[in-house]
Structure 1
Amino acid sequence: MAASKLELADCRSDSPQSRALVRVFESDAEVLADYARDLQSIFQRISVAQNLLNEATQALSEKLREFHKKEFLLSGDNEFIGSVMNELACKVDQISSYNAVLQTQITEHTAYPSNRFVEKYVSEVEQMKSQFKDNDKTHIEAMKRMAKVSKKRSSEAQLKESTDHLCAARRQFHVTSMNYCSMLNLLQTRKTTGLLEPLVGYVQSQLRHFKMGADICQPELDDYLGNLRTSLEEIHKSTSQTEQDNSVAIDRIDAESTRFYFPDPLPSMDFPELPVNKKETQISGYLFARSPGMFVNQWTQKYYFTQGGNLMQQGRDEVAGGLVMDLDGCMVELADVDDRRYVFQISSQDQKHSLILQAESNHSRSQWIVTLKNISKGLYLANDPARAAELLHAAAKPIEPTPRHSQSSHPQPTAGASSKRASQSASSASSQEHGKSSGGGMFARFKNAASSLVAPLNLPDFEGSSNGEKKAAPARDDGKVKQDAAVSALEEVVNSTSRHPILFDLPQDNLQGVQQSSTQQKSSSPQEGENTQAHENSQVSSDESSINVTYVVRFLGSRQVEEVHNGYAVISESIRSVMAARALQNIFSTKELELVITDYSLRLVDANSKSDQASFATSDIIMAANHPDNARLIGIIVRSSTPGSSDTIATCYVFESNSDGGEVCCSIATAQVLLKSLMEQNELQRQKELESDLEEQSKLLAQSDTVGAITKPVQSGDFEGEDLTMRDNE
């Protein structure tokens, strides 16, 4: 990667991007620790096993040549270290032919520097990593405790206690984070000395004590090692100076961050008020979001940021963010809910979606509200600088937000209300104008947002610039290039996975077939007429099913798949293709359906009309799984027969669920297990009935044999009596 070091100033923001960079350095440190310990083990083998010196030296040579194969995430001085190791590996091969080594020289110049690097510096980083995680956890708990302070019932003492606790936790975490980042940076610098110093000491000790041939004791090698030793000493001095500079920088940043440690200081602390920047069009930070729970509302902290005209969210350990809401024409206002401070609400333009968020301080909430209102009015676009300057001038006027829950249900018309309606109509007009300029769909707004990132909106220049259109022209050209690149990337995703087309409509020809399949599953063996009729009637009622679960889903698309031996990969690729195709076709509207899961079928029911839209037999479900990166996206692979042929095909249907996709997949798997158990019970019942029939037939045959054995002697006696009578008559 291109990153050379961790910036200490980024520790205060604690953004997911900075955490991701820290994880890269941690991974590199783990690789370095493993390699350094391997090298240390080899040096110890050389020091202890004099009889196996040749073997140990050869192992060292091989380990040196493996350095360029190690996948370090940070480049650093890897090329220089690798070239030096390759150069010295040839000399180590020559040294391995001698089996006598002075133990004292090896211990002093080889084992000691290696042990010092591993036991002191590498172990120190590992210990600081554990301390960093503990302080991070304490900081998060302190923020949650501060957020739960009652707005009405809390006293000043309680508020001061929570504030002091948060200040101490935040400062401890900040200082620990800066020290940890400093150690990771220094470890990258010490990598050169820690790996090369024992190696150089080993080679020099061998050359000093053996001197057994001109092949090894060449003057050029002595000069090379001497120059290398001088370079290592310079690196030592540079590292020490860097360590001192980092210590000074940590103290300076800590002193400058005193106001940052107090999100909302008490009036008695006499801190200056932070001004609100009314020209901001982009903002980011951690917020608490409210979500409904079973008994009480849940508040979850996430990292929110704006991108163009969209509000995005991202977890602490997530790589990328996800779309939350379209901010074009949205309404932002204060809210008073759950006895929490600094709460505000964002409502979409159509008033169908809303989001309640809690900021950390009053200044943070005011900055979020001002910035979101600027984005709602389209100030983030750079397509029309004159219009943006006009909207900025109108947005700079102070407008006091009013809490939604404190408004009267029947407000009286006043002059202020009429002016407010006029401003709302102007805002609506600007939103419509922005909609025309940005395209008709959400994907077009994504592309406009990308173009605005190429040439960011320079708001101060718009107020006094009269030639703004010439400045904005390159932004439109770059935006068009990025739009074409995005469209090409989406087309490549759609066309590279499968040759079959993507369908956005549900199949309507499988409703009758799945009912017949369910009937066959329920009566797996031919029964009497009334039993068959009872099974057919039982499929209409879902009460007789062992499982009956309903989830709210939205159908996104389907595609025929060919190979299903790796179902998880097939489902992930299908979801990726369907989402790319929907973005490419500007299809973002979906219809809510109810997914009803029973023993025998999966039915998709219209949420409004309660009519069946599609149905699949449970026995035809090959696999169901959710996407690893987005648990709400579900893929279901269904087996179906080809019309007019005995061949079967597999189709992957992609859905978006309101709940966790893992629960939906677990319910489907449960239905499959119950269906299999029911079929086994039916088969067992059928075998019992066959055995009963065979037993009855055996009894009938045994009875017929017994009757034949009894009646046969009687008939023979009668014949003999008739013969005697005839003889007597004769």
Structure 2
Amino acid sequence: MSNLLRLEDCLEDSPQTRALIGVYERDCDLLLNYSKGLNAACKRVARAQNELTMATQELAQKLRDFQHTKFSLTSEDDLVSTTIQQLLPNVDEISSYNTVLHTQLVDNMDYHSTEFVEKDLAEYLRLKSSFITSDKQHEDAAAKLAKISKKKPSEKGWQEATDALYASRKGFHNTSMVYCNFLNNLQEKKKWGILRPVVSFLQSEIGYFQMGSEICKKDMEETLTKLNENLTKLEEQARENRDLDVERMDRLDAGSTRSYIPDPPSSMDFPDLAVDRSRTQISGYLFYRSRGGLLSQWHRSYFFTQGGNLMQQSKREVAGQLFLDLDACTVDRIDTDDRRNAFQVISSDNRRVVVLQGESKHQYEEWMATIGNISAGLYLHDDPQSAVEAKKQDTAVAETTTALNTEESKPLHQTETPDRKSSSRGSSFETKHESLRPSMFERIKLAASSLINSDESSPQEHALAPPSEGSGDGSLVSQEMKIEIKEPILFDLPSPSVTTNPTPVKTTPPSDETPDPIEPSSVAQQQNNSDAQQQNNGVADNITEESAFKAMFVVRFLGCKRVDADCDLDNSISETLWKVMSARAYYKMFRMNELHLVVSDQALSLVDPNTQLSRETFPISSVLCSKTQADNTRLLGFVVQHAQLEQLMCYTFESNADGDDVCCALNTARVMQQSKLEHEENYKQKELEDELQTQSRMMRSLDGDEDTTLVAEDAKEEGSEFYQDF
């Protein structure tokens, strides 16, 4: 057959290969059902001599049914079909007046039929079950290796996951090759598995009965003998092909060792694979990220490029479907969800962003290079490789020309445009705060936790309530939950361009009144707002320049709400996180603003990364408590004493880093602020004591001078009286 299963495709395991395997499996299932019926007919002939006539008639009917059975891989002029058409009249003639000797039928016809069903077809069922099991183990091992942390890799965990993937992939490859080879051979075995019982039956009939002169013709006997010899040759040829297939499987297994391990650990001495950056077509399995209700999920699927499109196809689908248009797209590296080899593809209209993950660094580099070539339209050229080389030369020339033009035009343009100033300011802000990232947290965690006030109660862990299973259309919260949220939730912070006072201010006057443009109170209010805005704008610079402790984190604001002053603060943070996330899910509010959370021993500021303006600023002494969510440490919140609202507010965030590091930074800043206040208080107390001691010494010295004067006056008076008496 020209459409045999290729053993070289077993390792890739593409959906096309799976679809072809499915066709073979359906054909084998039909063959299994038919062979069981044929075997049952043969056993009936051998079992009941008295029922020989009825059994031969049923056998003849089964042979007729073969012509109506539509095997997927059998043509109308197949050897089995043509041979059955030639032999069927003889079977009908024998079944009309002959009986079969039970012993001969058992030794010939029943033996071959039973061997085909119980040996070959039973082996098919066993290999099919083993193929499904090894495929599931391979998928689990691949997913486990993909979950290995990029930031905190564990050599032992990496080695274990790699060993598991190596064993599962090698086992799946070998099982797949054996299974596909067996399916190919079964198509050949089907010929003698079905025909040999029929030929044996006819030979037994001719050898035992001598009364059927028409059947015992010499030409018929020669035909059956020749047919039997041909079937024997086919069986021997199939055995030789099977031996050759086993040797080929061994060679493929030996040459595929490097493919079993996507990214070998450093302890394994494997050479790096060369990256082909001139490709305009690529295919393979990738992990892609999908957004769930609140958290992202990763799925493994088969992707391939077709022209300028990225196609996706699952194992059970016959054809792929459009996943993303790659024309004029943008492909970039990305660091997300602690995943290795991740990259994102942005469509030309910036409306869709797809995040993908390669299984290995080699696959990751080739996919990015290929998508970049497709985005540049190189797939439209007759010679894509020459187009890629030309593109590289053009890029090098353009970079050189741009560098020369920039160097020549630099003295002529001393002033920068506002856009360039803002961009340079943004880069300087990120550069300036890059040094503030908490690299010292591992050293101060123990000190910070031990310096916290001993009277603070240990936080009680509260996990978010699980989502309702009966909620429809993606809703995670019921109407009862909606009613329980009594306090309003703020999902966005005030813009830096408005006043820092969070209380609502009515800015539009009534229709029958006109505002006084020179009202003193309005002028004073505007001046106060301007001063407050200038003060907030300079918070980041003041913290960077004056604070002894500094740290900066990238966070996304979830929401804030008021909490009661007499409640447990730890429980309030967990409850606020649950209510905010549930409210966002209920109202389908999944867009969050990214902020820079700047922590120092003086204040806590939420800075807009685009404008570098402070959205909110709190003294570090007003931060009463901070805590992460138990099941997801990237979710955190803190409670502050709001000075303007004179109430407690709980702010919740999702952090790019570990939320425990953010809480550790807040606790460290609080401890340092508390130590600073205690130091200042002790210094003032010491100054007061020194001043009191100085005043005491001065008072004692004054008292001593008065006593000396009184003694001198008494002595003078006594001397005067003595002189008068004398």
- Measured against the shorter chain, the TM-score band is 0.5 to 0.7
Query: Which letter maps to 2:352?
Result: H
Instruction: Give CA deviations for 1:434-459 in whole Å, capped at 9, x if unaligned.
Output: xxxxxxxxxxxxxxxxxxxxxxxxxx
Partner residue of 1:333?
A: 332
Q: How far apart are the structure 1 equivalents of 2:54 and 2:332?
A: 75
Q: CA deviation at 1:380?
A: 0.4
Partner residue of 2:15?
A: 16
The equivalences for 1:477-516 within 5 A come to: none
The equivalences for 1:101-120 within 5 A come to: 101-120=100-119
Partner residue of 2:186?
A: 187
**Closer, same or farther in 2 for the Cα pair 1:95/1:391, shift >3 Å?**
closer
Asked if 1 retains the 8 angstrom alpha-carbon contact of 2:279 and 2:385, the reply is no
Instruction: Give CA deviations for 1:15-50 in whole Å, capped at 9, x if unaligned.
Output: 000000000000000011111111001001101121
**Closer, same or farther in 2 for the Cα pair 1:51/1:390, shift >3 Å?**
closer
Q: CA deviation at 1:279?
A: 1.3
Q: CA deviation at 1:309?
A: 0.6
Partner residue of 1:378?
A: 377
Partner residue of 2:213?
A: 214
Partner residue of 1:284?
A: 283
Task: Give the secondary-structure state (helix, strand or coil) at the position aligned to 1:199.
Answer: helix
Q: How far apart are the structure 2 equivalents of 1:44 and 1:103?
A: 10
Partner residue of 1:95?
A: 94
Asked if 1 retains the 8 angstrom alpha-carbon contact of 2:98 and 2:209, the reply is no
The equivalences for 1:292-303 within 5 A come to: 292-303=291-302
**Closer, same or farther in 2 for the Cα pair 1:388/1:263, shift >3 Å?**
closer
Q: 2:391 aligns with which of 394, 402, 418?
A: 394
Q: CA deviation at 1:99?
A: 4.5
Query: Which letter maps to 1:189?
Result: E
Asked if 1 retains the 8 angstrom alpha-carbon contact of 2:314 and 2:320, the reply is yes
The equivalences for 1:95-174 within 5 A come to: 95-174=94-173
Q: CA deviation at 1:139?
A: 0.5
Q: CA deviation at 1:82?
A: 1.1
Task: Give the secondary-structure state (helix, strand or coil) at the position aligned to 1:352.
Answer: coil
Asked if 1 retains the 8 angstrom alpha-carbon contact of 2:53 and 2:99, the reply is no
**Closer, same or farther in 2 for the Cα pair 1:417/1:169, shift >3 Å?**
farther
Asked if 1 retains the 8 angstrom alpha-carbon contact of 2:281 and 2:370, the reply is yes
Partner residue of 1:347?
A: 346
Query: Which letter maps to 1:39?
Result: L
**Closer, same or farther in 2 for the Cα pair 1:216/1:417, shift >3 Å?**
farther
Query: Which letter maps to 1:393?
Result: A
The equivalences for 1:352-431 within 5 A come to: 352-382=351-381, 389-390=386-387, 392-395=389-392, 415=403
**Closer, same or farther in 2 for the Cα pair 1:388/1:137, shift >3 Å?**
closer
Asked if 1 retains the 8 angstrom alpha-carbon contact of 2:100 and 2:205, the reply is yes
**Closer, same or farther in 2 for the Cα pair 1:172/1:550, shift >3 Å?**
closer
Partner residue of 2:39?
A: 40
Query: Which letter maps to 2:113?
Result: S
**Closer, same or farther in 2 for the Cα pair 1:78/1:268, shift >3 Å?**
farther
Q: CA deviation at 1:171?
A: 0.4
Q: How far apart are the structure 1 equivalents of 2:404 and 2:128?
A: 57
Partner residue of 1:28?
A: 27
Partner residue of 2:316?
A: 317
Q: CA deviation at 1:176?
A: 0.3
Q: How far apart are the structure 2 equivalents of 1:416 and 1:29?
A: 70
Q: How far apart are the structure 2 equivalents of 1:549 and 1:186?
A: 50
Partner residue of 1:70?
A: 69
Query: Which letter maps to 2:331?
Result: V
Q: How far apart are the structure 2 equivalents of 1:242 and 1:396?
A: 51
**Closer, same or farther in 2 for the Cα pair 1:39/1:339, shift >3 Å?**
same
TM-score, normalised via structure 1 length: 0.54
Q: CA deviation at 1:87?
A: 1.5
Q: How far apart are the structure 1 equivalents of 2:372 and 2:405?
A: 19
Q: CA deviation at 1:392?
A: 3.8
Q: How far apart are the structure 2 equivalents of 1:379 and 1:353?
A: 22
Partner residue of 2:59?
A: 60
Query: Which letter maps to 1:258?
Result: T
Q: CA deviation at 1:248?
A: 0.5
TM-score, normalised via structure 2 length: 0.54
Task: Give the secondary-structure state (helix, strand or coil) at the position aligned to 1:180.
Answer: helix
Asked if 2 retains the 8 angstrom alpha-carbon contact of 1:4 and 1:76, the reply is no
Task: Give the secondary-structure state (helix, strand or coil) at the position aligned to 1:195.
Answer: helix
Q: How far apart are the structure 1 equivalents of 2:405 and 2:286?
A: 32
Q: CA deviation at 1:212?
A: 0.7
What runs of 5+ residues in structure 1 fail to find an aligned partner? 400-413, 420-546, 552-606, 608-730
What runs of 5+ residues in structure 2 fail to find an aligned partner? 397-401, 408-470, 476-587, 589-726
Task: Give the secondary-structure state (helix, strand or coil) at the position aligned to 2:354.
Answer: strand
Task: Give the secondary-structure state (helix, strand or coil) at the position aligned to 2:61.
Answer: helix
Instruction: Give CA deviations for 1:108-130 in whole Å, capped at 9, x if unaligned.
Output: 11000000000000010111001
**Closer, same or farther in 2 for the Cα pair 1:129/1:397, shift >3 Å?**
farther
Asked if 2 retains the 8 angstrom alpha-carbon contact of 1:148 and 1:340, the reply is yes
Task: Give the secondary-structure state (helix, strand or coil) at the position aligned to 2:253.
Answer: helix
Q: How far apart are the structure 2 equivalents of 1:165 and 1:259?
A: 15
Q: How far apart are the structure 2 equivalents of 1:417 and 1:218?
A: 100
Instruction: Give CA deviations for 1:118-163 in whole Å, capped at 9, x if unaligned.
Output: 0000010111001100110010011110111111222111101100
**Closer, same or farther in 2 for the Cα pair 1:75/1:549, shift >3 Å?**
closer
Asked if 1 retains the 8 angstrom alpha-carbon contact of 2:148 and 2:158, the reply is yes
Query: Which letter maps to 2:18?
Result: R
**Closer, same or farther in 2 for the Cα pair 1:182/1:396, shift >3 Å?**
farther
Q: How far apart are the structure 2 equivalents of 1:183 and 1:114?
A: 19
Q: CA deviation at 1:104?
A: 0.7
**Closer, same or farther in 2 for the Cα pair 1:145/1:550, shift >3 Å?**
closer
Instruction: Give CA deviations for 1:540-568 in whole Å, capped at 9, x if unaligned.
Output: xxxxxxx99899xxxxxxxxxxxxxxxxx
Partner residue of 1:308?
A: 307
- Asked if 1:260 is matched to 2:259, the reply is yes
**Closer, same or farther in 2 for the Cα pair 1:6/1:341, shift >3 Å?**
same
Asked if 2 retains the 8 angstrom alpha-carbon contact of 1:345 and 1:355, the reply is yes
Query: Which letter maps to 1:333?
Result: D
Q: CA deviation at 1:102?
A: 1.1
Q: CA deviation at 1:214?
A: 1.6
- Identity among equivalent pairs (%): 43
Task: Give the secondary-structure state (helix, strand or coil) at the position aligned to 2:332.
Answer: strand
Partner residue of 1:227?
A: 226
Query: Which letter maps to 1:377?
Result: A
**Closer, same or farther in 2 for the Cα pair 1:163/1:417, shift >3 Å?**
farther
Instruction: Give CA deviations for 1:669-693 in whole Å, capped at 9, x if unaligned.
Output: xxxxxxxxxxxxxxxxxxxxxxxxx
Task: Give the secondary-structure state (helix, strand or coil) at the position aligned to 1:97.
Answer: helix
Q: CA deviation at 1:331?
A: 0.8
Q: CA deviation at 1:4?
A: 3.1
Flag the structure with larger Rg: 2
**Closer, same or farther in 2 for the Cα pair 1:107/1:388, shift >3 Å?**
closer
Task: Give the secondary-structure state (helix, strand or coil) at the position aligned to 1:269.
Answer: coil
Partner residue of 1:432?
A: none
Instruction: Give CA deviations for 1:163-194 in whole Å, capped at 9, x if unaligned.
Output: 01000000000100000001101100100010
Asked if 2 retains the 8 angstrom alpha-carbon contact of 1:46 and 1:56, the reply is yes
Asked if 1 retains the 8 angstrom alpha-carbon contact of 2:288 and 2:355, the reply is yes
Q: CA deviation at 1:417?
A: 12
Q: How far apart are the structure 1 equivalents of 2:95 and 2:214?
A: 13
Asked if 2 retains the 8 angstrom alpha-carbon contact of 1:379 and 1:392, the reply is no
**Closer, same or farther in 2 for the Cα pair 1:549/1:222, shift >3 Å?**
closer
Asked if 2 retains the 8 angstrom alpha-carbon contact of 1:374 and 1:395, the reply is no
Query: Which letter maps to 1:297?
Result: S
More deviation, 388-397/160-169? 388-397
Q: CA deviation at 1:211?
A: 1.4
Task: Give the secondary-structure state (helix, strand or coil) at the position aligned to 1:355.
Answer: strand
Q: CA deviation at 1:294?
A: 2.5
